């Protein structure tokens, strides 16, 4: 426990109380900011942005486009399993052909652009109300105040 020998009057006490309150708020703000920064680096979006970049995709030449080849296989499967679930054989075949061609034209730059635009839809910043300071010290109506 700290020893406050320099507090002699009520004004000194109130000044020290105000100083401690400011110090408390500053440390609280810094701790919350550091915690948010630390936790933000482990979110899926931050990990995706860190490891999945256009430079990390292996594109040896135009014939070996791994991201385009993967999308030409995955996009028709995704479309047929979700959007066109109850469609007939001809509709699924047409969707498979069209989405396969679209998937081949997608490369790393297109995929990262699509991801960033979808992420922008969901990451709207909401303003929060500032929390009121709660003081659990000496009540103002107390005789010792």
State pLDDT tens for residues 93-116. 888 888 777 776 776 667 777 778
Tell whether 127 is covered by a domain: no
The count of domains in the chain is 1
Tell whether 86 is covered by a domain: yes
The tokens describing 49, both together, are: 């942005």
Q: What is the rounded distance in angstroms from the CA atom of residue 113 to the CA atom of residue 135?
A: 48
Tell whether 27 is covered by a domain: no
Average pLDDT, the chain: 78
Ranges 9-23, 45-59, 93-107, most confident: 9-23
Q: What is the rounded distance in angstroms from the CA atom of residue 77 to the CA atom of residue 61?
A: 26
Task: Decide which of 117 and 145 is more confident.
Answer: 117
| Start-to-end Cα distance in the chain | 21
Tell whether 7 is covered by a domain: no
Tell whether 51 is covered by a domain: no
Look at residue 60 in the predicted model and tell me its pLDDT: 47
Q: What is the rounded distance in angstroms from the CA atom of residue 21 to the CA atom of residue 12?
A: 14
State pLDDT tens for residues 21-42. 999 999 999 999 999 999 888 8
Tell whether 117 is covered by a domain: yes
What residue numbers bound the domain in which 70 lies?
56-121
């Amino acid at each position: 426990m700290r020893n406050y020998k320099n507090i002699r009057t009520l004004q000194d006490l109130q000044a020290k109380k105000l100083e401690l309150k400011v110090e408390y708020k500053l440390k609280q703000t810094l701790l919350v900011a550091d915690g948010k920064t630390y936790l933000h680096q482990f979110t899926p979006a931050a990990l995706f942005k860190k490891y999945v970049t256009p430079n990390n995709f292996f594109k040896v030449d135009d014939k070996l486009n791994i991201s385009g080849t993967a999308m030409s296989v995955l996009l028709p499967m995704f479309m047929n399993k979700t959007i066109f679930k109850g469609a007939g054989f001809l509709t699924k075949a047409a969707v498979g052909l069209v989405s396969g061609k679209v998937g081949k034209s997608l490369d790393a730059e297109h995929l990262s652009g699509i991801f960033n635009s979808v992420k922008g839809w969901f990451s709207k910043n909401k303003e929060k109300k500032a929390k009121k300071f709660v003081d659990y010290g000496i009540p103002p109506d107390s005789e010792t105040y």
